[in-house]
Structure 1
Amino acid sequence: MTGLLRRALRGVRWYVRELTDESAYDRYVAHVRKEHPAAAVPSRRAFERMRTDRQDTDPRQGFRCC
């Protein structure tokens, strides 16, 4: 029973992280390390800043109401 509950909680955690795009940084780090091993990986804060700037300058990247 405990194993089933843990598996269910892991699934819920995965779903929420994907839904809120919390896992975007993890995917980005994996991509940079695989495709550009010599490149420096930016911090999470720098990544979020780059992402926000990109969304602000290109309306196709996402919708911001304010």
Structure 2
Amino acid sequence: MTRAWRATCSAVRSVGWYLGELMGDHDYAKYVAHLRAHHPDREVPTEKEFWRARWAAQDANPGARCC
């Protein structure tokens, strides 16, 4: 049963990771890592500032969104 439990836990973690990626939950952390690696002289915005700027950009340039 331990083997089946590990497989189930692994599947649940994988689904959780996928949904987090799909919904953008990890985007701020990726952005901060990118800034620190490629633009160390730039100030890192707070998470609230990051999301505010991202949503403003999406509203200004909706792209392929339906609504």
- Normalising by the residue count of structure 2, what TM-score does the alignment of the two structures yield? 0.75
The structure whose Rg is larger is 2
Cα RMSD (Å) of the superposition? Answer: 1.9
- Give the stretch that moved more between structures: 46-55 or 18-27: 18-27
Once the two structures are superposed, residues 5-47 of structure 1 have per-residue CA deviations (whole angstroms, 9 ceiling, x without a partner) of 4432321221110111111111111111110112111111100
1:50 has 2:59 as partner: no
TM-score (norm 1): 0.76
Q: How many residues align?
A: 64
Runs of 4+ in structure 1 displaced over 6 angstroms? none
| Bigger relative contact order, structure 1 or 2 (CA pairs below 8 A, ≥6 apart) | 2
Report the identity percentage: 38
Partner Cα distance (2:62, 2:47) in 1 = 23
